[in-house]
Amino acid sequence: MQKCNPGKTPVDIESKFGANGDPVSDPMLYRSLASALQYLTFTRSDISYAVQHVFLYMHDPREPHLVALKRISCYVTLSRSSAEAEYKGVANMVIETAWVRNILCELHAPLFTATLVYCDNVSAVYLSTNPVQHQRTKHIEIDIHFVRDFVASA
């Protein structure tokens, strides 16, 4: 995994899983990695589908399944730095805050002051204030625009 190339998607959409291929040399390693990725799906719904499919072969893992696990791991390595994870958290908090504010407005109890969302990650704060989109942040571009639009309208 040290010399792996990052993946743009968590699953290879061209291939289908099956019970073919050689058995993996260390099934416990396969199960350990799959379990770690399953735990990660609580906060990373984008890998849920791929992890679910590799989990189907926990009882008898084969080489193609291990390759799929490695691909998911490469995708996770590419797509999340701590700044992006923090920014995703900020975006989720802004979404929840907007929902609560809209509910209060519908109940005729609007808030007249801005809701503050705090973030202690300098890079995440920089992402929210920098108007220039960089190649490495394109996959969170929707979140960035949502947060900026919400802040501008508040």
Q: Write down the pLDDT at residue 105.
A: 92
Q: Write down the pLDDT at residue 68.
A: 87
Predicted confidence (pLDDT) per residue in 95-121, tens digit: 888 889 899 999 999 888 888 878 776
| Average pLDDT of the residues in 10-20 | 65
Residue 144 has pLDDT above 70, yes or no: no
Contact 127, 83 (CB under 8 A): yes
pTM of the complete model: 0.47
Predicted confidence (pLDDT) per residue in 54-65, tens digit: 888 888 899 988
Q: Write down the pLDDT at residue 110.
A: 87
Predicted confidence (pLDDT) per residue in 78-88, tens digit: 555 566 777 77
Angle between helices 63-79 and 27-40 (to 10 degrees): 40
